[in-house]
Amino acid sequence: MTVLLCPAPFSPEREMALLAQGKTGDCGALASFVGYCRATSASGAVEALVLDHYPGFTEKEIERIAAHVIERHQLIDLHVLHRVGAVAAGEAIVLVAALSAHRAPSFAAVAEMMDYLKTDAPFWKRELGPSGARWIEPTADDYARRQEHAR
C-alpha cells in the first residue's frame, strides 16, 4: 500500500507507468482513477483549489481506510496519491489505483476509495475564483455514494 500526500504537482502518467512496471505475476487487473481540478464550477471560473489537511492524522486515516479496502476486496495492492496545498486548474488532484487478480475487485475498490476521499478523508477544500475563496463541502450525492459502501 502507498499513501502519499503531494505538496507539488505529480504526473499521473508517470505514476501509472511505475505501477505497471512493478506489478507481480499474480496481478490480472489494474484499475485507476485520476481526478483533476476543473477550470469552471457551478459558481464560475476556478483559478485553483486549495486543499488543507491535518498533518499526520490525514495520512493515518487514509491508510486505515486503504487497509480496510484492500482486505474487503482482496486486492494485491492499493495506491493513493493526493495533492495538498494549492492545485491549479488542469492539474491532477488525486490518483487511486488498485491491483487485483481479476477486474471486478479493482473497479470496486477504486470507486469505494474515491467515495471515501470525497466525504470522510481529513481534507478541506477551497475554490479560488475571481470573486474570492469559497469552501467546497460534499454534496448530498457524495454522501449517498459513500453510504452505499457501508451496506
Cα gap 102→106, rounded to integer Å: 7
Give the nearest distance from C-beta 115 to other proteins in angstroms.
9
Q: How many CB atoms lie within 10 A of CB 1?
A: 13
For other proteins, give the closer residue by CB, 51 or 76: 51
CB 117 within 8 A of CB 96: yes
For other proteins, give the closer residue by CB, 75 or 117: 117
Give the nearest distance from C-beta 129 to other proteins in angstroms.
17
DSSP β-bridge partners for residue 30: 99
Sites of contact with other proteins (CB under 8 A) = 35, 51-52, 54, 56-57, 60, 82, 93-94, 114, 117-125, 135-138, 142
Give the residue carrying C-alpha cell 512493478: 22
Tally of residues, the chain: 151
For other proteins, give the closer residue by CB, 8 or 22: 8
DSSP H or E run through 116: helix 103-119
Give the nearest distance from C-beta 132 to other proteins in angstroms.
12
Give the nearest distance from C-beta 37 to other proteins in angstroms.
11
